[in-house]
Structure 1
Amino acid sequence: MTDAAEDTATGESGGAVASGDDHAAADQGAGGDGDRDRRHDAGRVRHTAFSPETVAVFGRPAGVHGSFAQTSESTDRPAPEVSAPDPVLAEAFGRPSGETETLQRDPLAAYGEPGGAPSPPDPWRDPESVAAMSGPALARPTIAEPTESGPKLGIQDVLFGKRVSWHALATLAVLAVLVGVFGGLIGRWTAEVVSPLNSDSVQLSTGEQTNGDAKSPVAGVARAVEKSVVALDVRTSSSVGTGSGFVIDKGGYIVTNNHVIAMAANDRNAKLEAVFFDRKRVPARIVGRDTKTDLAVVKVDNVDNLTVSKLGNSDDLQIGQEVIAFGSPLGLDRTVTSGIVSALHRPVPLRPDAESDTDAVIDAIQTDAAINPGNSGGPLVDDEAQVVGINTAGLVPGGGSIGLGFAIPINQVVPIAQTLIRNGTVNHPQIGVNASSVRNDRVLGAQVRNVVAGGPADRAGVREDDVITSFDGRTIESADELTVAVRTAKIDGKVGFTYWRDGRTFSGTIMPASD
């Protein structure tokens, strides 16, 4: 091995280790210590010699005996020169004056030094300060220190203690006398000159007593009709209903709507009472009712001095004519509302529900007089206090009247009421067809869906899909209008009508039969 290889193979950390011969020479030179070293060296493990290839890769370079190579003191490169730092940087990052050891100031170096709150910025002396509002340049007033109050003066001190001068006492006495005199004069003047607030002689006068004349036309009609109007209460074990009616005969007959007394008719245990204008309650019995016209008649017994309604002529009504509605809307009996006739011959369907079996189409008088639930059955009267219709229905989508009320004309009520009083039931005309409304670019009317074999329509030559456009001189634009026109016709009377078929219009006559 080369010298370098030998050094690497026998070396330990930090430098080369001597060979075995060297150890022996050392032992001999050391005398007695040599034996101890030999015994110690005998326990050492001898390393295997490294191959030349390994020494060539991992050994020290030639001429290097330590861990670091020797550097030459001379160099060809010039040494850098450090210039003086920039003054701004030196001020920002240099050591504070007097500090030479570190850039950080000892936090305990300020211990014991007097401290205080930093002075507020002064915009007048510091151009870098932020603009801010300041108080006026006025001298602050010096606040005097509070003084302790002295002892309170008593009457003895004031009068005899010479604490207050006699001149001041005399002035106070004069002022007290003046105040007393002035107060007495004011009191006397108030008592003698100003009138008292309370008096027993005041009599409140009222206006001139009238002779009972009505203040307005509506008030006069209300006074004339109110005694003939009744409220009808229906009570069952599970529900309560309220409607209206009016007396049509001194025998105690009262006309109303069928849907008002339907619960009483369908429940034997129901209680039906008529309540008159003086709050007198009387049991009522059902004389007869008609579900196809929504009319009914009830009767009360043993009631004296009944006021009978004066019936008018609904055929003479004009659109815009003033009318007054009577009834008990929402249970508020003896209620009066006024309006006008908004339209005539308005077909209004009335369908069955949970409380009524009415299935009718009425030929209604339309009015803007307020009609709400409970007005049903009450009279609709003109400005002469004559009944021209029976309040029957109202469109109340929001729960109250919106000016769309409907009444059955009195000329249609009278024959039905007389028949119910006479027979208890009513027969109606019919033509033996079912129809539905049709509206298209070719025709407008009531289209026949089926025809009863052998019925009036079949005998008149009406076929399915024919469209009836007029009946008894009345224009038909819907199935409801056809129903109204047929039910207002006479049984076994010839009625003219027109119908449309396959683009052509035909005329004919038909004889309604009883249902």
Structure 2
Amino acid sequence: MSLFDDDFYSTKVSKRAARESRKRDLGFPYRSGTRKWSNVRIAFVSSITSAVAATLLFGVFFGGGPGIGNGGGSVATAGTISTVDPLERPIQASAKVRPAVVSVINQQMFAPGIGNGQALPKDSEVKGTLREAGVGSGVIISKKDGKAIIITNYHVIDQAAAVKVVLMNGETREARVVGKDQITDLAVLEIDAKGIDVVAEIGDSSALRPAEYIIAIGNPLGLGESVTTGSVSKTKQIVPVSLNQDGVYDWEQEVIQIDASINQGNSGGPLIDLNGRVVGINSMKIADLGVEGIGFAIPINLAMPIVDSLIKLGHVPRPYLGVYTMDLEQYWQQQDFEDAFGKALEGEDGKSAEKDAETGEKAVPESGGAPLKLPDDIYSGVIVLEAVGPAKDAGLLFNDVIVKLDNQAIGSTMELRKYLYTQKKIGDDIEISYYRDGQLKSTHFKLGQKEDEEE
């Protein structure tokens, strides 16, 4: 008996209602007529429909749909569905490249005696002992004529009397420096290709996107293989650098900023994407108190033209002005220092030691020059300490202050170098505006070519 008067709430079902219910259950719900479907048939159709829907959804979310997982520019092959575990991709990518990653050992001459001491200059007449001075990394990019070509950093092999390469299997081989370029911090080595079966695949650094997953491979501290992972923080970062590590910024480097660890010894190793392609050459990091996860790599698209030139010529041909310089701003700072302390900043030989505007090499200015005479409104420019080559032939002298190149204002050695290397070519005409004894003058001449031995 029902607890309620309304039969809608009653648990008792009449025989007539039961018959009507069974009749409705056996009828096809979307078609009028008398055709009957069994419960088994309905369950079978539902299962097939669910399976098709699940397959389509799986294909869309795991690589089957166009524009997803393929950069938006390709469609997966018909009948194939990618089922690779995302966590496996870094493992597979690093395994693809690791056999092509090498350790690079910089050997220099050290004075005989107990302890490491300091390395002897390359032109020293003192007979020393060849020792390991530093360890970096490199990556094999090609094989040709029985030789394997390796990319590394300039600073990894700088000042080396000899270079050795350690393969991933632990074998050590002698290496020859094919070419090096301080401006881009790149160098190319060559070793015997016997037994080397894997070379790294070159990727496209212009396709990188912020937050994209990347892997840095190298040989930190000479302890063996290292794989660090992270993401791209910025695809294009401009970083000021001091070519001679003297604290004076004299060049700007375009790099990829990453948060993967670039430890000491990782320099020169490859930065790769999840396809195992080299997209950069690990170069440097910011090492400061409280700073973590800021590393930099040279984009492979910028590196390869330099590498090709080093392979073909042994150096990178650039236009040559022929001046040793000092920034006018730095000169004023020294004057302020002398006024405050009554003592000039001196080099080891008692003279101000400055650098070549184009090579960063130390230069000693000529003595006996008159003090600078400039208009009161000139605060920036480049002081000529010595003119050689084309500049000397054009009549530039000690204490001339360059302020413009082709009507482009020049305020520092960095700006002078950037203008030459990005806007001019070897043999181009150039106009130089400069001050001499307070008078603005100008001269024209053709840019020369820097010879390799002058670097």
Q: Which residue of 2 aligns with 1:351?
A: 244
Q: Is the 8 A contact 1:469 1:499 kept in 2?
A: yes
Choose which of 452, 475, 481 in structure 1 pairs with 2:387.
Answer: 452
- The 8 Å contact of residues 471 and 496 in structure 1, kept in 2 or not, is answered as no
The alignment partner of 2:98 has SS state of: helix
Matches within 5 A, 1:197-212: none
Aligned to 2:449: 514
Is 1:466 matched up with 2:358?
no
Hey, what does 1:492 align to over in structure 2?
A: 426
What are the superposed Cα offsets for residues 48-82 of structure 1, whole Å, 9 maximum, x if unpaired? xxxxxxxxxxxxxxxxxxxxxxxxxxxxxxxxxxx
Structure 2 match to 1:379: 270
Partner of 1:274: 166
Larger radius of gyration: 1
Whole-Å Cα distance in 2 between the matches of residues 366 and 325 of structure 1? 12
Moved more, 307-316 or 372-381: 307-316
CA contact (8 A) 2:139 2:269 kept: yes
Query: Which stretches in structure 2 are left out of the alignment for 5+ residues?
Result: 1-81, 109-129, 333-375, 451-455
Q: Are residues 495 and 281 of structure 1, via their aligned partners in 2, closer, same or farther at CA, if it must alter by over 3 Å? A: farther
**Partner of 1:326 in structure 2?**
217
Query: Which residue does the alignment assign to 2:180?
Result: 290
Shift of 1:456: 5.9
Query: Greater RCO between the two (CA within 8 Å, min separation 6)?
Result: 2
Give, in whole Å, the separation in 2 of the partners of 1:508 and 1:217: 60
> What's the CA shift for 1:425?
4.2
CA distance in 2, matches of 1:378, 1:425: 21
Tell me which amino acid in the other structure corresponds to 2:150: I
1:21-420 mapped onto 2 (5 Å cutoff):
213-215=85-87, 218-219=90-91, 221-234=93-106, 237-239=130-132, 241-251=134-144, 252-262=148-158, 265-267=160-162, 272-276=164-168, 279-290=169-180, 292-293=182-183, 294-304=185-195, 306-314=197-205, 323-332=214-223, 333-342=225-234, 343-351=236-244, 361=251, 363-369=253-259, 370-382=261-273, 385-397=276-288, 402-420=292-310
Letter of the 1:248 counterpart: I
- Counterpart amino acid of 2:400? E
Aligned amino acid, residue 190 of structure 2? K
- Normalising by structure 2, report the TM-score: 0.50
Tell me the C-alpha RMSD between the 2 structures.
Answer: 4.7
Residues 13-35 of structure 1: CA deviation (Å, up to 9, x unaligned): xxxxxxxxxxxxxxxxxxxxxxx
Give the aligned residue type for 1:244. Answer: S
Within the candidate set 407, 429, 447, 2:319 is matched to 429
Counterpart Cα distance in 2 of 1:405 and 1:470:
36
Displacement, 1:226? 2.7
Residue identity in the other structure for 1:482 = L
- Over 3 Å counting, the alpha-carbon distance change for 1:464 and 1:229 in structure 2 is same
Tell me, yes or no, if the aligned pair for 1:448 and 1:468 is still in contact at 8 Å.
no
Q: Which runs of 5+ in 1 are unaligned?
A: 1-209, 354-358
Structure 1 residues 457 and 213, CA gap change in structure 2 (3 angstroms) = farther
Q: 1:259 to 1:442 in 2, by over 3 A?
A: same
What is the CA–CA distance in structure 1 between the aligned matches of 2:405 and 2:274, rounded to whole Å? 36
What CA distance in whole angstroms lies between the structure 2 residues aligned with 1:311 and 1:510?
Answer: 41
Cα distance between partner residues in 2 of 1:274 and 1:432: 40
Alpha carbons of structure 1 residues 302 and 220: separation in structure 2 relative to 1, 3 Å: closer
Cα pair distance change 1:240/1:496, threshold 3 Å? closer
| Percent of aligned pairs with the same amino acid | 29
Aligned residues: 292
User: Given the superposition, is the C-alpha separation of residues 419 and 213 from structure 1 closer, same or farther in structure 2, using an over 3 Å criterion?
Assistant: same
Give the Cα separation in 2 of the matches to 1:352 and 1:402.
21
